Amino acid sequence: MTSTKPTRASSTPTKARASTAFSRWRTSDILITAVIGVVFGVVFWGWNTISPAFDKLFAGSPWGGLIVGVWLLPGVLAPLVTKRAGSGILAESLAALVSVLFGAPWSGGSILLYGVIQGIGAEVGYAVVLYRIWKPLVVFLSGATAGIASGLLDVTTYYPEFATGWKVVHVVATTIGALVVCGLASLALHKALQASGALPARREQRRIPA
């Protein structure tokens, strides 16, 4: 009779990655997450200035959600880089706070609420695989779940007058925009950071036997 029990050699790396995601943060994890949040807070400030020009393209339609992906990037990127559960919420919230300090066209309370909700949405994509898999498909999933969260918050707070059909289209458009922008940009930025040598060696990688 053939045993289906996984061997110790094949299960150890998965267990190590999973436990690391929920273990105590290192100083480098906090610093990397903070840097991502601050940098994207400045990016948000710039995008807040530029994005109204794109809004005109979708005036009178529910497709404006296609351009929101930029605002969701830190929530998807930070967990991918640090491999830590919760870093997406922290990075997204910090980016929202920095954009408020720089001067944003919306109320500070609203922006901070969006930061927290969008960060939670991004974390959902990694949480469904228990933070064990960091392949591109999961990164795109994180972008999609962040988009869903942001789109639902939009139709609740900013577009309650939309007909049900338009609300659905807006959430779908936000999800598509976030999936594409956050997925592609997060993977590209992560690869660039790895190639630059700016990231410290991951402890969990050293635990994986050759």
* pLDDT tens sequence across 105-152: 777 788 999 999 999 999 999 999 999 999 999 999 999 999 999 999
pLDDT at 205: 45
| Domain spans of the chain, in order of start | 27-196
The first and second tokens of residue 40, run together, are 């994207």
The first and second tokens of residue 31, run together, are 């610093």
Average pLDDT, the chain: 85
pLDDT at 168: 96
pLDDT at 163: 92
Q: Where are the alpha helices (DSSP H) in the chain?
A: 8-21, 27-55, 73-82, 87-102, 108-127, 136-157, 164-196, 203-207
Which stretches of the chain drop beneath a pLDDT of 50? 1-12, 14, 203-210
